[in-house]
Amino acid sequence: MTFDSTMKFSTNMSRADIDKKVPELKAFAEAAQLGEIAKLLTDTAGLPNAELAARMTRCLELTGGKDEYGLLYDQLDMLIINLRNLK
């Protein structure tokens, strides 16, 4: 599974939009055999925003800044920004 090489970076996503995106990221992590990241992205619906952001931040750390995970990193970063923007 691969993401498109370009992505639309949005900073006004709703929590529902974020929750809809997480399974895509989980599927990517599973396909890339990133088990710990996939686990962190499991059962996220209903988590408090801060806890979800903390899990996603840990996912960023686990990618290790490797280029092959750049799109996953960017998507996670976008979701974290959006979580922080939620009121």
pLDDT digits (tens, 9 = 90+) for 26-39: 999 999 999 999 99
Structure-token match 């090489």, residue found: 5
pLDDT (0 to 100) of residue 54: 96
Residues 6+ apart with CB under 8 A from 49: 15, 83, 84, 86
Q: Within 10 Å of residue 82's Cβ, how many Cβ atoms?
A: 20
Q: Is the model's pLDDT at 64 over the cut of 80?
A: yes
Q: Is the model's pLDDT at 57 over the cut of 60?
A: yes
Q: Is the model's pLDDT at 56 over the cut of 90?
A: yes
Question: Tell me: the pLDDT tens digits for 40-53?
Answer: 999 999 999 999 99
pLDDT (0 to 100) of residue 1: 45
